[in-house]
Chains A and B, each alone.
Chain A
Amino acid sequence: MKRLASLVCLVALIATACSSSGATQAVNGGNLIVGLDGDMVYADPSLVSDGNSLYVAAQVVQGLVGLKPGTISEVVPVLASALPTVSSDGKTYTFALRTGVKFHDGTTLDAAAVKFNYDRWNAYTKGDLQDNAYYYGAVFGGYGADSNIASVTAPDANTVVMTLKAPQSNFLLAQTLQVFGIQSPTALKNDKADTTPLKDNNYAQGKGESMVGTGPFKFKEWQAGDHITLTKFADYWDTANAAHVDTITFKPMGDSTAKLQALQSGGIDLAETISPTDVATAKSSNLTVLDRGQSCNMGYLGLNQSLQSKSGGAATPTIYANKSVRFAVGEAINKQGIIDALYGGQAKIPQSWMPPATTGFKAETIPGYDAAKAKSDLAASGLTADQLKIDLYYPSSVVRPYMPDPKNEAQAIAQDLTAAGFAVSLKTEDWHGGYVSDATNGDLPMFLFGWTCDWAGADNFLNTAFFGYSGGKPNPQFGYQNDQMNTLFGQALQAPTVDAANALWGQAQDLIAADLPTIPIVNSTPPGAYTSKIHGFVGAGNAIEYFNTVWIQ
């Protein structure tokens, strides 16, 4: 009897092994339909900064370096054959290129092509081109003479040397952005890709040969508002990682309910994101909810210490200039409760002002939920009952990855703050209709806001998004002045190595944690979902995801 049982077990084991090996065997062919959160803006990746365009571009264009799939900050060589050698002063980066790489138009990638692309971006003229090519200006501090790039040279066909005017610690990580994807100089010239105004630019409008890169998929067509179609690139250089599916069709679908029903009905195979409130339904509908792993965003409660005057007069200090009040606010909020109720389990409580996988992250002690301590801190602040009447703003007509349900989140926070002793009035403004500008201009005292990383570096959160000075003044969004912190920011940005920069970012985080100028609420990973016939998909918290590994069965 025991022998029989053993035999049955053996047969079962073999059967299991066979079936699982069958499931992991990639199958080629098929058309993958992906529900995209919105439409692409331009078919020239160097001219976009929105998530939808970059999501598509990630399949088509490649830069010298990129991110290891599934990670948000692990830089790996892509068109470069190895990570660059960097001079000791941190100003010169020397890249060796891979050989045998073809563009989608059949031309060959060489150092001259890389130089052509960097020179092209640097020469973007004021107006349409600079207005849309946000990232080049943001990363290098401007265009032409204002850019931190001193020169890009091609000493031989396979070597590119980039020289910076000043060391720039975020240089390599920022080069992983799709906007720095190298496109075929031949195609760019043939289609007059620098034509302005952009309404007459066939390359940017996807009307001609557009987005001609070196990736595993090539651009086929773009029917604005309807779909973008990419096809498998037969001559892809990385044969071991060539695409499995024949085509990808991206369908812009902004409505979350429609997207979920499209997945359930099989009308689309994969949704870039679904609403956190739909996670349970998706799971019960035999859909796989995408695990994006590392977060690359932060939702926070903004506290403004110095309200700006709309008439241009002097700024008015608020109660949030009082450190005890800020700590009381931080201790009053039950973040885990909010995460459980509104984020479908797809978020974590932040340990700093950036997610843990960010380069330069340092775990800090941020006040947790402690209602009793919140009350005692508030009492210690010495504020009168009248001063404790506060306005909490939240945005309407918007859902953000770090803020899937602003109204209910604001209500939950208001409830917690009321329990601590504040008298909270909830106020709202339309996201595009004034909320963003009022918050960033420093007109809102307490507000829900957030930041999705451009690149997962400490600089992108601490300096770009939060507390970096501009024109010698603190960010008006928070009115938080800390000159020592700002000095550290400057030193970190120009540190010759990433390690040196990270040490400085760590010191800056210590200063920020001691002051608690804003209240980090969540680091979320926006959920996506796909049907049971989709295999091999690797999600990433920054939504830079590659479809060459995906197959349909």
Chain B
Amino acid sequence: MLRFIVRRVLGAIPILFGLSVILFMFLRLLPGDPAIAILGQHATPQLIAQIHETLGLDKPLYVQYLNYLGQLLQGNFGASIIDSRAVADTFAIRFPITVELTIGALIFAVGLGIPLGRLAARHPNGWIDGLVTVVSLFGISIPIFVLGYTLAFIFAVELHLLPYPGPIDPRLSVDPVTHFPIIDAVLSGNPGAVVDAFAHLILPAIALGSIPLAIVTRITRASVIDVSNEDYVRTARAKGLTRKRVDDRHIMRNAWLPVTTVIGLQVGSLLGGAVLTETVFGWPGVGSWVVTSIQNHDYIVVQSLILIFATIFLTVNLIVDIGYAFLNPRIRYS
């Protein structure tokens, strides 16, 4: 197992290096200039040249890349071109917000998707299965921003049932200690703030979790049906085991494997989906930061964030692979 982990970690290095080169070149090939984003309507050729000099954008591309790589190797992700804030500092503030949103979405997707999938699998091709299929298609076919605006309109604007926007009401003056809105609300000692933070999470978690919900539901259904038809399941039933025991011990234990893989992969797509959800719901996480940074041609922020996301994605996949071993002892990583 240790050898497997080391091999995977070492294998990630060329991937990340290649990604850094491609990202660096790709972003600079895009038309546009961060100097114009800084200067706005005041951009003149002279001022643009002055800013290029300060930011080192007047140097050859390979020199710019080597400077960037040198910083990266020292664990320095650089600073924003627009507001000079260190990427690592801003990431430390914004990432917990995105993590909280992602966890909320994952709980929604997994917490609802697995029971729905099991329910559909128990009544294959029946009306319950049909209903679950419709719900799944609904989740996967509606764009996040459409669902987000619609949810906000119905539950916040029209019904005033849930709060909007942001992760917590600023009127509550909760001090950001950990930058996880719910944990900070708990630390504030104000029960109202805790309730408010949870309430703020519901709509964006549903919007972000809608696609994973559909996928988890479908995969669970297919996996459970598949395993249910295995010989050992028939044997277990023939032995007279209770339905619950067959479900828990024989079907789900084996059906978990593909479901776990999909959940792991969904973490990556959830982080990507957060870009839209955070914009729609005014969450100041990493996703909305990516959007504004792309708009501003803030090269350093965009390339560093994508590298960080790639690292997270690789790590999650590794964890999923390791999780396999615990779920299915037959799998060995030799």
Chain A residues proximal to chain B, CB less than 8 Å: 31, 33, 38-39, 41-42, 49-50, 126-128, 130-132, 134, 138, 197-199, 201, 204-205, 223-227, 229, 247, 249, 251-255, 257-258, 261-262, 264-268, 285, 397, 429-430, 432-434, 436-437, 440-441, 451-452, 465, 470
- Interface residue total, chain B, C-beta cutoff 8 A: 56
Stretch from B27-35, B107-115, B217-225, B304-312 at the A interface: B27-35
Q: With contacts A197-B84, A470-B44 known, what are 7 further pairs, Cβ within 8 A?
A: A39-B83, A224-B284, A225-B292, A258-B279, A265-B157, A430-B32, A432-B296
Q: Are B94 and A33 in contact (CB under 8 A)?
A: no
Which residue on chain A has the smallest CB distance to residue B169? Answer: A267
Assess A223 versus B284: contact at CB under 8 Å? Given A199-B84, A434-B32: yes
Residues of B within 8 A of A223 (CB): 93, 176, 284
B137 part of interface (Cβ distance < 8 Å): no
Report whether B44 and A261 are in contact in the complex, using a CB–CB cutoff of 8 Å.
no
Q: Which residue of A lies closest to B50 (CB)?
A: A131
Given A131-B38, A261-B153, A267-B165, answer yes or no on A432-B32 (Cβ-Cβ < 8 Å).
yes
Q: Are B163 and A265 closer than 8 Å at their CB atoms?
A: yes
Contact B164 A134 (CB under 8 A): no
Closest to A265 in B: B156
**Is the CB of B246 closer than 8 A to any CB of chain A?**
no
Q: Which residues of A contact B254 (CB under 8 A)?
A: none
Q: Which residues of A contact B32 (CB under 8 A)?
A: 430, 432-434
Q: Does B66 contact A (CB under 8 A)?
A: no
Task: Return chain B residues, CB-CB under 8 Å to A432.
Answer: 32-33, 36-37, 295-297
Main secondary structure of the interface of B (DSSP, over half): helix
Complex alpha-carbon distance, A134 and B50, angstroms: 12
B334 at the interface (CB under 8 A from A): no
Query: In the bound complex, how far is the Cα of B40 from the Cα of A452, in angstroms?
Result: 11
Q: B43 interface residue, CB < 8 Å from A?
A: yes
Per-position contact with A for B14-50: 1 when CB-CB < 8 Å, else 0? 0000000000000000111100111111111101101
B41, A451: Cβ atoms under 8 Å?
A: yes
Closest Cβ of chain A to B108, distance in Å, is: 21
A267 and B200 alpha carbons, distance in the complex (Å): 11
Is B54 engaged at the interface, CB distance under 8 Å to the other chain? yes
Residues of A within 8 A of B279 (CB): 254-255, 258
Residues of the B chain whose Cβ atoms lie less than 8 Å from the Cβ of A254: 279, 291-292
CA gap between A42 and B79 in the complex, in Å: 14
Complex Cα spacing A433 to B37, Å:
10
Given contacts A130-B50, A265-B163, A267-B163, contact A433 B31 (CB under 8 A): yes
A and B contact pairs by CB, cutoff 8 A, 15 listed = A31-B170, A42-B84, A128-B84, A131-B47, A204-B84, A223-B284, A224-B93, A225-B94, A247-B173, A254-B292, A255-B279, A258-B149, A258-B165, A261-B153, A433-B32
Would B170 and A33 count as touching, CB distance under 8 A? Answer: yes
Pick the contact of A262: B86, B164, B297 (CB < 8 A): B164
State whether the Cβ of B90 lies closer than 8 Å to any Cβ in chain A. yes
B166 within 8 A of A: yes
Is B288's beta carbon under 8 Å from chain A? yes
B44–A440 contact, CB under 8 A?
yes
Interface residues of B in 141-199 (CB under 8 A from A): 149, 152-153, 156-157, 160, 163-166, 169-171, 173, 176
Q: CA of A229 to CA of B90 in the docked complex: distance in angstroms?
A: 18
Residue positions of B touching A, CB distance < 8 A: 30-33, 36-45, 47-48, 50-51, 54, 79, 82-86, 90, 93-94, 97, 149, 152-153, 156-157, 160, 163-166, 169-171, 173, 176, 279-282, 284, 288-289, 291-292, 295-297
Q: Given the complex of chains A and B, what is the CA–CA distance between A450 and B30 in angstroms?
A: 24
Is A49 within 8 A of B40, CB to CB? yes
In Å, the complex CA distance between A251 and B165 comes to 10
CB of A232, distance to nearest CB on chain B (Å) = 14
B43 touches A251 (CB 8 A): no
C-alpha spacing A433/B97, complex, angstroms: 30
When C-beta atoms are compared, the residue in chain A nearest to B156 turns out to be A265
Q: Which of B31, B42, B163 contacts A138 (CB 8 A)?
A: B42
A53–B48 Cα distance when bound, in Å, is 21
Q: How far is the CB of B201 from chain A (nearest CB, A)?
A: 14
- The reply to whether A224 and B83 form a contact with Cβ atoms under 8 Å apart is yes
- When distances are taken between beta carbons in the complex, the residues of chain B under 8 Å from A33 are 170-171
Q: A437 to B166, alpha carbons, bound, how many Å? A: 35
Known: A258-B279, A261-B156, A440-B43. A42 touches B176 (CB 8 A): no
| Cβ contacts under 8 Å, B149 to chain A | 257-258, 261
Q: Decide: B284 and A433 in contact? CB cutoff 8 A.
A: no
Q: Is the CB of A258 within 8 A of B280?
A: yes
Which residues on B sit within 8 Å (CB–CB) of A226? 93, 97, 166, 176, 284
Complex CA distance for A31 and B171, rounded to whole angstroms:
6
- Chain B nearest CB from A273 CB (Å) reads 15
Tell me the smallest distance from the CB of B270 to a CB of chain A, in Å. 20
What chain A residues lie within 8 Å of B42 (beta carbons)? Answer: 49, 134, 138
Whether B94 lies near A441 (C-beta < 8 A) is no
Cβ–Cβ < 8 Å partners of B93 in chain A: 223-226
Q: Closest CB of chain B to A501's CB: distance in Å?
A: 22
Please tell me if the beta carbons of B84 and A251 are within 8 angstroms of each other in the complex.
no
Contacts of B173 in A (CB 8 A): 31, 247
In the bound complex, residues from chain A placing their C-beta under 8 Å from that of B157 are: 261, 264-265, 285
In the complex, the chain B residue whose C-beta lies closest to that of A398 is: B295
CA distance A50 to B291 in the complex (A): 18
Residue of A at shortest CB range from B30? A433
| Minimum CB–CB distance for A20 against chain B, Å | 28
The answer to whether B40 and A50 have CB atoms under 8 Å apart is: yes
Chain A residues lying within 8 Å of B163, measured Cβ to Cβ, are 265, 267
Out of A201, A225, A227, A441, name the residue touching B90 (CB < 8 Å).
Answer: A225
State how many angstroms separate the Cβ of A7 from the closest Cβ of chain B.
41
Give the distance in Å from the alpha carbon of A437 to the alpha carbon of B33 in the complex.
9
Q: Nearest B residue to A250 by beta-carbon distance?
A: B170
Q: How near does chain B come to A227, taking the closest CB pair, in angstroms?
A: 6
4 nearest CB pairs, A to B: A433-B32, A226-B284, A433-B31, A198-B84
